[in-house]
Structure 1
Amino acid sequence: MTEAQLRQYQDLQEVPIEDPGSDHEEGWAYEDVLQGRQDIPISHEGGELNAIREIHGMRAAWVEKKRIDFRTRRDRTDRHTRAFQKEIPGATQAFMDWSLRKKEGWALPEEEVEEESSGSGGADIRVVDVFTTYDMHILYPAKDTLLTALVRRGFIPCAPTNPSVCITIDALELFRVTNLRSPHLSIHAFIKALCDLHGTPFKRYLATQFSIAHDLHLTIRANIDKTVQKLLFELLFTMDGNDSLKRIVKYELGADGEPLRTCEGLDSRKVTDDLFLARDEVNKWAIEGLQDLMGDDFTEDNPDADYNPCIDRWKNMKADITKRMWGIFDETGIFLALCRHGFALVIADMVRSGEMAKYPLSVVAIMLKVFGKDLGGGYDIGCKLKGTLTRSPLAQLVHELNYSSLVGSFHGHAHRRLCQLVHLATYVRGLGLEDLEGCERAFSKSNALAGSTRHASVFHRIQAIDAYFKHNDDAEVFANLTLFEYNNYKQCTEILESGPTALATAMHDLGITDTAVFEECRVEERVYLEGLSHEPLEETLQMEYYQKLVNLAATTLTPEEKKARATRRKIFNKYEKDLMRVLDLEEKLQIETRWTPECQEWRDAATLVSMSKYQLALDNLEGLIVARMFELTKMNMSQTGYKMRKHIAKALQSCSHAIRTALDNYNTATRALNPPRQQLEWSAVVEYAFLADFDLLRDARQDNSQKLWAKPAGRLAMDLYYKIMRAGEERDRLNVEIRHIVTYLRDEEQYLRRMEATLHSERPELAHQISVYAARRGHFYQQHHRRLIKIANLPGFTGTLEPGVALENGHGEPASVWSMLQMDVDGAAPAASRVADEAEDEDNVSEDRREAEAEGQASDEEEEMSAVITSIIQLAFD
């Protein structure tokens, strides 16, 4: 009988059926016998207990033991990360191989196919693409792991070991590019769209699988970019904080609902580039870190520091506000630095705080370390940062490297006039027309990331922000680089063309013969406003003495009051109190004869008191006007909901009543002055756009209303003069930058072509990645050349489009000497003559194309104007 026949007979044999009434019982419970819960029949032979022990041991050997799993959900991400990290180098090489094969249309090499046919491993994989899902069996050679073999075929696995599901690189790339263009698109939304296309219900684990593959895809791309990519930036930069990109920290709640501990997964992954500052690097500039750096020289508050008149206007100047933040957030926003063209330079996470001083200090420190001398940094409270830098360990470095702390043009108009005369970009020599407000424009777009990062992990939030700003640098800022130059050049030439004529007319009307008067006026106005910063101590005491004498005279009893005993006692106590203060002030002021209403000192002090009340009324009116300005801008902003608009409308209505009352008080105070000041009308007050208009109404000891800088016409002429000066500086800067761009475009193209040709035979996969990078950069070259030609055709253009010679020409630089060798790659024309060729082709452009370009230019100008308006509106939140 064969083995197969025996197995068939065994399957067909009868199964014994147990009789419920039978006295025989199979399977004694050994533990029950030992505990006395079950009896066993004992024979004369004995040994029943040993037999039961043997049966129990045999059964225990056959029963599979349940494995105790000590893993937790919290450390799953960390284990995935460690497992993936070992595969990253091989996966990066496999990705480059796949990319090269896809471009060339190559199949797998024959030797690799032979290795796979007798391969050392295989796996069944489900592949998810954009429109299809299919199963496949993959064999891979001994030199590959399963992960690298999958990547080499264009699939990204969802697990580091033994994956069962893969996502195609094309599907991941579609999500990556779409998400960067529209940050509102989340992984959940994209997976739901794929489920709709595939006709399958959405399940949360599908999004988790896609997220794992997406992280691996971004890591591989980042490794490739490190080999190829390098960016250079300019020296003028702007920085600011934004609290939209917060992240909620996850807590484990106790029985009482209070948070016990964080329950976030362990994730050791980090975004490995120089864009994000490490938290330790930032924290060393906190108060505790400054104490360690400066030792005994550290003082948190410097009583001798210059008074800052803007401190009451900006919430990020107030330490009690910036130190506080809701406990549900860990990261409370980002602090960003951009160059004047919009390239991201450095980002710092704001952690469990508002916009504290340690963030701009850490940014200035890294900028000075990297870029060196003659930096100009714009910041909305640059006036205060200037003082903070002088009291920090950076003070000597700031002085030696000539660092300038500036205030942006739009934020600057919300500062006091005294601050504007020193720090505002309009009055800074050499700054040109740069407004230093690039961060506001960047935040207006990056705020779209808030929805997808609010509940993300620490790594995924940083990864999303990092990917967004890098893509923005490549696809937006670099693409619009020459558009920025064109718009600025067009603006400064228009100012230089029409400005001098308008200035000459204004000077003639004002009786001014020399433009040096405007510099003298600015200095005179600054000296005057500095005198208003603090009231002299003697005048303060004189005003208090006058007020106490008035109070003392007011406590004289009338005949009716003398009859009331309680009133008499109350007034007498008040009289004694005022008398003691009068005697004390007479001793301090060394007054021998008490003042009376007939003496000159009384009248002078009365004038000072009237002026003080006038200024208090003016301060109250100004504060209400500022609140109204901010509420109006918020009401007209996009993404302000209906309920919020109604709430703001009610606030505006209440504010209007308060403004009318404050205006009445102000006009009453002006009538008490000698001579009376000009009354303000409701229609004029509500149209105030610049807060500097209020500063000119402050006058404590002299009448400067006839000064040139105090007249509206004089101030307009002075602003026009400085605008013309800055426009000339801007044209000089643009002439330098335009030649830099022409040179860089030529050098980068030649350098990348040279590198691609050099590596084509040795490392074809790396050469292909260089060509991919070159194609991504070169995608905008043609429009750059066209815009450069438009700049050269502008009336008043004084620069040149002839390429220069770059100073940085060492190994690895685009302008390195060995990359400038004569070469002929694919019959390409020399890059130096590309601009001239574009100029010749301009005459051959079709009419349809010209119309389309004109429409595109109009659209660009509208977009630029929209960005400017957005920047102005953002002032409401600073």
Structure 2
Amino acid sequence: MKHLDMNEAERRDHDRMRDIPEDFDNDGYGYEEEVLRGDVAADISHAGESLTEEAIEAADISLLEQLRAHHNQLFPRARDKRTRTNRTQILVDAFAAQMEAMADAYISWDLETSKEGLASVYSQPKDAEVEETNEVFVVDIFSAYYADVPIIKSDAFVASAYVRQGLMPVSPHFPSVVVTIRALEVFRAASLRCPRLGIQAFVRTLCDLHGVPPRGYLATQFRVAFDVYLSIRNVVDKRVQAALGRNTPNWRLKNACPACMYKLEGEESLLIPLLVTIDGNNSLKRFWRREREEVLEDGTSVPGTSKERLDNRVPGADYYLPREEVDRWAKEGLEDMMKGFVPEDGGPEEEDGCMERWQNMREEVTSRAYGMYDETGFFPALCRHSFVLIVVDMVKSGELAKYGFAITNHLLRVLGELGQGYNIGCKYGKMVRAHPGLSKLAADTNFKSLVGAFHGSGHQRECQLKNLSTYVEGVGTEDLETCESFFSKSNALAPTTRYATAFHRKQAITGYLRHADVFDAGLCSQPASSAVSTRRALRTKATLPALQETMVQLRVESRAVFETWLEKEKRFLRTLSKEPVQETLEMEYYQKLVNLLHQEEHLANVMKLRLPAAAAPTDAAGYQRAAKETRGIETQRRHAIERAAKALEAVQDLEARLDTDRWVPGSEKWEAAATMSGRRRYQRALDDLEGLIIARMFKLYKVNMAGTGYKLRKHIAKALQARSKAVKAAIERYNAAADAMTPPKDHLSWEQVVEYAFLADFDLLREGREDIRGEPWALPSGRAAIDQHYKLLRADEELKRLNIEIRRFITYMGDEEAYLRHHEERLVAESNAGLAHQVGRHRMERARFDALHMVALGKLSTEKGFTGSITPGVSVCKERHARSAPSREDVEMHPVAPTGAPRAPPEEHGDDGEDAEDGGDSGELTDAFLHIMRITHDVATAT
């Protein structure tokens, strides 16, 4: 329907839908026609700013000066001097001046609506003195409407007046559009649970609910309101942390994970107190806004200048290390630095063969900047319970060493001794110990760099025996692959951050990390994961009788023999990487003797050449031809003499090194060396193949693992064939060398290699330098026994660590609840009810899972073989020892039965004691549950 054909009621409804003021008189023209003709100015700017004359007259002269400079739409004849580069910064500065007042207003609104929550309707205080009323367009979840917003005398700013009433303005001074806080909170909660949900999709959803077509500027307005809302929350969070005394540098990092860091009095010490994993992820790239490339006179093109908008905002929390701190660790001449590296044992460094196997260890690959991106990913450090410790951005590069160096330095200085898992931990550990800025710190803190279980299967076997978590004492059953599971969830941020600004990208990542720590990591799932790890370790412990039976069959007296077998395997692998020196010299000497005989024979043949007869003086052409042939023959003789002399010199040098007389053809040493040299190529091919097979033993073992079906086994075989190019190349070299042998050796196919699961299956290894087929560690039963031995060792370590961590977490839950409640009551007594309410929100957020945790841990305590305790201890740190915490006498009134105490007789739990066995209603579980309910003051809620 055309605008001119509408009646007054239809036009008013149409204009209201299009955000047009009802009092606008079009005189026969539509509102949009009047704006386009230039007869009137638009009453709402792109940012939602009111441009009405009433708003201008209400402003003071200083505000008008600011609006004259930055909002020249108020003066149509003035030239617009604003630019897209500084427009965002101007808006940020305007809101920043009002931020503290807006935070006060938000606390007041949150306290006022605390009983009914987000569904409550704000009511004006009865004694409030209203100075003026502004009409604004309110955007809510299920409705959008015009409303008169009163400004009372106590309001410091217009923006804070709106926030006090649960409305978030989209512009700092004269907003005509506001968004309700509940709509913003719904989007915040939804986007944290589903990071793929962006503002544009959510705003379009609101448009669908309101029955209006989506408009581009609506997402911009919502973005402004949402940024202001998050900034207010950050200010409030800082106030809460200051009230709790937790605003000191690195407080969050030092207390990130209760199980890892909340140490108790009298607990056992761990060989590696803290386990950390680091890794780079390139999913969270961000496009770099630049002008088009400039073409110079010589035809070369240079990148265009940056078009990034000025924005000095910094997201809340302290997850990120500054770029300046990371750049201090930029790699300069690392190759020269590594040349002077001396291992801790003082011996020469042995190359483990992994340098060229991982692309993020090759600087020529990782140092290339990606021209289209600014941030090319992020590089986090996580504890073993998935708590985020610290994060850095990868900038215009791949996974460089400086990112790991910066994180390692920060963690070692703040947290001290730790073990760090990294997919290139073998080489990275050497780099850390050789780095001038890290070597002393790493030595003082007993730093350990390890390789996780998943990535470790792709390393050389010799590297695995040194650095794989399975073989490192103190690691337990931790696979050090926490980053991989973390990335599988954080990758969902990529769609909404790929084209975002630098601030909005970091804001989204920081918000996700904070949410993941509270709702996805330890405080939500840590006890459950601890229970799973404990049961897994107990099942591993239950395999000890089977290992003892295997030891009897192998005639192994003690498990210490397995350590000896592993050392033998290490020595054998070292022999594969280098040929014996004596054999190498003898084969080299033989080759030089053969070369000398060949050169002497060639020299004799050249000396027999006859010079051409002299030509007649009158025959000039014949004379020149004879001279040329003579020079050619003389040149051949000279070259033959020189080559023979060099060959003789090389032979004499090797004779001095071997301290032997000249070998002659047919002698015993000559024939032995000839045979050895002939087998050398075959032997090298065999060594390479054997080394690669051992390195991929884990992957090959998966093919024939018990319970693997035929189709799955073939599928894994195809995947190995596609990815194991090195093995296939080694097989080809072996087959070529086998053909050259006398008699020719049998060929080896890829299918045969895939079907083999153990070294003993390779019959061709009998022809190696050392036949290891009879070695116990190469037999299937021996390999299984070694694996089971180390699994049992790691299971014992895991149970010890879990017993400590579970008690730490239980103590933390009680202490944290009491500490937060104490400060909440203190703030109420100090007449600061608003901040006390925010502390209470923080307390409930931290304690919402406590009851479920204790149920899970209580059931775990009834598991057969559980050796830990779920009785709270006393923390080493006295910070949370608040006065309102339960006294020791109160705790002892309902003590939890100690581990190993006799269970109640069966008749107390039923006729056959089944309830006590499965933990469904045991006395210990009941006592533990009542105890934690008493600590958290949730008994009434639970009942």
TM-score, with structure 1 as normaliser: 0.75
Q: How many Å separate the matches in 2 of 1:394 and 1:139?
A: 61
Structure 1 residue 726 displacement after superposition: 0.9
The answer on 1:788 being equivalent to 2:857 is yes
Deviation at 1:187, TM superposition (A): 1.3
Amino acid across the alignment from 1:72: T
Between the aligned partners of 1:260 and 1:252, the Cα distance in structure 2 is 4
Distance across 2 between alignment mates of 1:697 and 1:454: 53
Q: Which residue of 1 aligns with 2:935?
A: none
Where does the alignment leave 5 or more consecutive residues of structure 2 unmatched? Answer: 1-74, 242-251, 261-273, 296-300, 344-348, 610-628, 703-715, 898-902, 921-943
Letter in 2 for 1:756: E
Identity of aligned residues (%): 39
CA contact (8 A) 1:493 1:796 kept: yes
Amino acid paired to 1:603: A
Distance in 1 (alpha carbons) for counterparts of 2:780 and 2:377: 41
**Residue 596 (structure 1) aligns with:** 665
How far the C-alpha of 1:192 sits from its partner, in A, is: 1.5
Cα deviation for residue 432 of structure 1 reads: 1.1
Q: Give distance in 2, aligned partners of 1:91 and 1:433.
A: 50
Deviates more, 1:149-158 or 1:667-676: 667-676
What amino acid is aligned across from residue 195 of structure 2 in structure 1? P
Q: Tell me the residue number matched to 2:280.
A: 241
Query: Deviation string for 1:257-308 (max 9, x for gaps)?
Result: 86320111111111243211111111111135x99xxxxx983643767233
Q: Does 1:494 align with 2:494?
A: no
1:818 corresponding residue in structure 2: 883
- The Cα shift of 1:502 comes to 1.7
Q: Kindly state the Cα deviation for residue 170 of structure 1 after the two structures are TM-superposed.
A: 1.2
Q: Partner residue of 2:382?
A: 338
Indicate which of 687, 701, 707 corresponds to 2:775: 707
In 2 relative to 1, CA 368–649 (structure 1 residues): closer, same or farther, beyond 3 Å? closer
SS at match of 2:524: coil
Alignment-derived partner of residue 253 in structure 1:
292
- Aligned amino acid, residue 774 of structure 1: R
Q: Which residue of 1 aligns with 2:528?
A: 483
Output the amino acid matched with 1:347. V
Deviation at 1:547, TM superposition (A): 4.5
- Alpha-carbon deviation of 1:206? 1.2
Distance in 2 between residues matched to 1:628 and 1:724, nearest whole Å: 20
Counterpart Cα distance in 2 of 1:320 and 1:100 = 58
Once residues 214 and 739 of structure 1 are traced to their aligned partners in structure 2, the CA distance between those partners, rounded to angstroms, is 41
* Cα distance, 1:574–1:833 mapped onto 2, change above 3 Å: farther
SS of structure 2 residue aligned to 1:590? helix
Structure 1 residues 277 and 209: CA distance shift in structure 2, 3 A: same
How do 1:584-733 residues align onto structure 2 when only pairs under 5 Å count?
584-590=649-655, 592-594=661-663, 596=665, 598-604=667-673, 606-607=675-676, 610-616=679-685, 619=688, 663=731, 665-667=733-735, 669=737, 680-686=748-754, 701-733=769-801
User: Does the 8 Å contact 2:278/2:379 carry over to 1?
Assistant: yes
Q: What SS does the aligned partner of 1:479 have?
A: helix
Given that 2:596 and 2:648 are in contact with CA atoms closer than 8 Å, whether structure 1 keeps it comes out as: no
Deviations 1:551-589 (A, max 9, x none): 7778989xxx999xx9x9999999889756643431331
Which residue number corresponds to residue 299 of structure 1?
337
Separation in structure 1 between the aligned mates of residue 893 and residue 462 of structure 2, nearest angstrom: 50
Instruction: Tell me the CA shift for residue 622 of structure 1.
Output: 8.0
Query: Which residue in the other structure is 1:378 paired with?
Result: 421
Using the TM superposition, name which of 620-629 and 359-368 deviates more: 620-629
**How far is the alpha carbon of 1:481 from its aligned partner?**
0.6
Whole-Å Cα distance in 1 between the matches of residues 429 and 697 of structure 2? Answer: 30
- 1:216 aligns to what? 228
Q: Using a 3 Å threshold, how does the CA distance of structure 1 residues 579 and 267 change in structure 2: closer, same or farther?
A: farther
Shift of the 376–113 alpha-carbon distance from structure 1 to 2, 3 Å rule, reads same
Q: Deviations over 1:88-147 (max 9, x none)?
A: 22222221211111113598787x554442x2x543211111111111121212432111
Aligned mates of 2:545, 2:396 — CA distance in 1: 54
TM-fit CA distance, 1:613: 4.2
Alpha-carbon spacing, 1:733–1:766, altered in 2? closer, same or farther (3 Å): same
Given the superposition, is the C-alpha separation of residues 575 and 541 from structure 1 closer, same or farther in structure 2, using an over 3 Å criterion? Answer: farther
Superposition RMSD on alpha carbons, in Å? Answer: 4.4
Q: 1:727 is matched by which residue type in structure 2?
A: A
Query: Residues 589-616 of structure 1, C-alpha deviation per residue, up to 9 Å, x if partnerless?
Result: 1265255365425534643563444434
- Amino acid of the structure 1 residue aligned with 2:814: R
Matches within 5 A, 1:79-94: 79-94=90-105
Q: 2:452·2:480 contact (CA, 8 Å) conserved in 1?
A: yes
Alpha-carbon distance change, 572 to 425 in structure 1, aligned in 2, over 3 angstroms: farther
Match of 2:570 in 1: 526
1:186–1:69 CA distance, 2 compared to 1 (3 A): same
Contact 1:125 1:136 survives alignment (8 Å) = yes
- How far apart, CA to CA, are the structure 1 residues paired with 2:807 and 2:737? 60
On the 8 A contact 1:248/1:329 being kept in 2, the answer is yes
- 2:434 paired with 1:391: yes
**What secondary structure does 1:308 align onto?**
coil
Mapped partners of 1:268, 1:68: distance in 2? 27
Aligned length: 741
Matches within 5 A, 1:759-778: 759-761=827-829, 762-778=831-847
Q: Secondary structure of 1:177's partner?
A: helix
2:185 pairs with 1:173: yes
Q: Which amino acid aligns with 2:150?
A: L
Asked whether the 8 Å contact 1:383–1:407 carries over to 2, the reply is: yes
- Unmatched segments (≥5 aa) in structure 1: 1-63, 292-296, 634-647, 824-828, 853-878
CA–CA distance in structure 1, aligned partners of residues 192 and 414 of structure 2: 28
SS at match of 2:291: strand
CA distance, structure 2, for counterparts of residue 787 and residue 364 of structure 1: 35
In the alignment, which of 800, 803, 807 is matched to residue 872 of structure 2? 803
Q: How far apart, in 1, do the equivalents of 2:854 and 2:469 lie?
A: 31
- Partners of 2:115 and 2:159 lie apart in 1 by 23
How many angstroms does 1:664 deviate by?
5.2
Structure 2 match to 1:126: 137
CA 1:301–1:464: 2 relative to 1, 3 Å = farther
> For residues 691 and 711 of structure 1, do their structure 2 counterparts lie closer, same or farther at Cα, with a shift above 3 Å needed?
closer
Kept in 2: contact 1:88–1:220 (CA 8 A): yes
Checking the alignment, whether the CA contact within 8 Å between 2:461 and 2:696 is kept in structure 1 is no
Q: Secondary structure at the match of 2:138?
A: strand
Query: Which secondary structure state, in structure 1, belongs to the residue aligned with residue 280 of structure 2?
Result: strand
Q: Please show how residues 562-577 of structure 1 align to structure 2 within 5 Å.
A: none
Given residue 242 of structure 1, which amino acid in structure 2 is its aligned partner?
N
Code of the residue aligned with 1:133 in structure 2: it is A
- Cα distance between partner residues in 1 of 2:238 and 2:579: 60
Deviation at 1:72, TM superposition (A): 0.4
The separation in 2 between residues aligned to 1:322 and 1:250, in whole angstroms, is: 22
Residue 161 (structure 2) aligns with: 149
Whole-Å Cα distance in 1 between the matches of residues 121 and 719 of structure 2?
69
- 1:232 matched residue in structure 2: 256
* Distance change in 2, residues 1:767/1:681 (3 Å): same
Distance 1:488 1:383 in 2: 26
Partner of 2:194 in structure 1?
182
The aligned residue for residue 35 of structure 1 is none
How far the C-alpha of 1:713 sits from its partner, in A, is 2.4
Whole-Å separation in 2 of the counterparts to 1:186 and 1:784: 33
Corresponding residue of 2:465: 421
Task: Note the alpha carbon deviations across 1:814-872, whole angstroms, 9 max, x for none.
Answer: x324342669xxxxx98996989xx99x999xx9xx9x9xxxxxxxxxxxxxxxxxxxx
Per-residue deviation, 1:661 = 7.7
Find the aligned partners of 1:622 and 1:532 in 2 and give their Cα distance: 7
Cα distance in 2 for partners of 1:326, 1:623 equals 34
Tell me the CA shift for residue 173 of structure 1.
1.3
**1:410 pairs with one of 428, 445, 454:** 454
Q: Displacement, 1:492? A: 0.6
Instruction: Kindly indicate whether the alpha-carbon contact (under 8 Å) linking 1:750 and 1:820 is maintained by their aligned counterparts in 2.
Output: yes
Aligned to 2:147: 136
Distance change in 2, residues 1:286/1:660 (3 Å): closer
Contact kept? 2:286, 2:500, Cα under 8 Å: yes
Shift of residue 706 of structure 1? 2.5
